Amino acid sequence: MTGSATREPWQWEEAEWRRRVGRVRAGRRLAPAAWPGGKGFAVAISFDSDHETNELRDGGHSISRLSWGEYGARVGVPRILDLLARRSVAASFFVPAVAALLHPEEQRRVVAEGHEIGLHGWIHERNSALPAAAERELMLRSADAIEAVCGVRAAGIRTPSWDFGPGTLATIRDMGLAYDSSLMADEDCYELLLDGEPSGVAELPVEWIRDDAPYFLMDRFGSARPHLAPRDVFDIFRRELDAACEAGGLFQLTLHPHIIAARSRIWILDELLAHAAARGAWFATHRDVVAHARASARHAEEGEEKA
């Protein structure tokens, strides 16, 4: 490994690229044979309540982008919470600590209505760009701030932008968090390995296919102008959900209040929830999905030992 930091990747020895690949890997799959209440599959809906932090992370110079984040808090989350209540669906909200401090009543309402609050960084920072000590300090500070605002200790984390550095998992483990939801090695929950050893942290995987941002998030000063038709995005999400139903597995979805809550888009979530209910879904928070997956794996192990 000597001098690997100054070498190009094509110059690395085999031990170096194996070390990098092996730092964080998927362990055993945590795929329950059955879901609570005899339901055929699980649906875990999540919202990344970034609000103003996307712009604050980049310096906070654009009042326009700050207002877009404010829309997520002022219009988006209330509209989403009303819809979830009407559909009797519990969801998970991953919130940067700065967003929680800017909008504390929002977080308290989320918790009061039976939803989960998870960690989502301090100010939507990029983990892999941070010095290790700074990353660790921000993660610890975020957990304390969320608890102070909401009155509950978060059980899980989604790193901002799903960005994951070499030291991220070790800090998650040391914090005693039950799960992460930032990585993409499977479609079912799985154990996370740290340098080849079980970390004690479960992964509830995400996927850009099941995220609204790639389809709708434009860059006004760049060339990104995706803006797919809402009907097309609904079709992608529905096909992912139907495939999870057929497999008896997990459908996980990531949405953003400042994106999905627009009048021309909120119906996507409404119709998707109705479709999932008609197909016999178990709706649960990320925390509860992970708890069930772990308990099922534990019972399976106990059964094998008795056999």
Q: Is 294 helix (H, G, I), strand (E, B) or coil?
A: helix
**Residue-wise pLDDT tens digits, 203-215:** 999 999 999 999 9
Q: Distance between CA 277 and CA 286 in Å, rounded?
A: 18
> pLDDT confidence of 12, banded at 50, 70, 90?
very high
> pLDDT confidence of 227, banded at 50, 70, 90?
confident
CA dist 239 → 35, 92, 236, 245, 272 (Å): 21, 22, 5, 10, 10
CA dist 10 → 1, 14, 177 (Å): 14, 10, 36
Q: What is the mean pLDDT of residues 179-199?
A: 98
Task: Please tell me the predicted confidence (pLDDT) of residue 305.
Answer: 66
Handedness of CA 137, 139, 142, 146 (dihedral sign): negative
Q: What is the mean pLDDT of the chain?
A: 95
**Residue-wise pLDDT tens digits, 126-172:** 999 999 999 999 999 999 999 999 999 999 999 999 999 999 999 99
Q: Does 304 score more than 80 pLDDT?
A: no
Q: What is the mean pLDDT of residues 103-110?
A: 98
Which H or E run includes 111?
helix 104-112
Q: What is the mean pLDDT of residues 219-231?
A: 76
Question: Are the CB atoms for 97 and 104 separated by under 8 Å?
Answer: no
Q: What is the mean pLDDT of residues 208-235?
A: 86
Reduced 3-state DSSP string for 192-233: EEECCEEEEEEECCCCHHHECHHHHCCCCCCCCCCCCCHHHH
Q: Does 301 score more than 60 pLDDT?
A: yes
Q: What is the mean pLDDT of residues 72-77?
A: 98
Task: Please tell me the predicted confidence (pLDDT) of residue 219.
Answer: 73
More confident call, 7 vs 110: 110
25's CB contacts (< 8 A; 6+ apart) are: 185, 192, 193, 196
Task: Please tell me the predicted confidence (pLDDT) of residue 23.
Answer: 96
Q: Distance between CA 109 and CA 99 in Å, rounded?
A: 14
Task: Please tell me the predicted confidence (pLDDT) of residue 222.
Answer: 67
> pLDDT confidence of 225, banded at 50, 70, 90?
low
Exposure string of 207-237, with b = 16+ CB inside 10 Å and e = fewer, is eeebbbbebbbeeeeeeeeeeeebeebbeeb
Task: Please tell me the predicted confidence (pLDDT) of residue 1.
Answer: 42
What's the CATH code, domain 22-306?
3.20.20.370
**What share of the chain has pLDDT > 70, as a percent?**
94
Task: Please tell me the predicted confidence (pLDDT) of residue 276.
Answer: 98
Domain locations in the chain as residue ranges: 22-306
Instruction: Give the global pTM.
Output: 0.94
Q: Which of 123, 118, 71 is nearest to 90 (CA)?
A: 118
Distance of CA 225 to the CA centre of its chain: 24
Q: Is 30 helix (H, G, I), strand (E, B) or coil?
A: strand
Handedness of CA 148, 150, 152, 156 (dihedral sign): negative
Question: Are the CB atoms for 125 and 160 separated by under 8 Å?
Answer: yes
Q: What is the mean pLDDT of residues 175-196?
A: 98
Task: Please tell me the predicted confidence (pLDDT) of residue 224.
Answer: 66
Q: Which of 145, 147, 126, 148 is nearest to 135 (CA)?
A: 126
Candidate from 81-95, 162-176, 216-230 with smallest mean pLDDT: 216-230
Angle made by CA atoms 164, 165, 169, in degrees to the nearest 5: 75
**What share of the chain has pLDDT > 90, as a percent?**
91
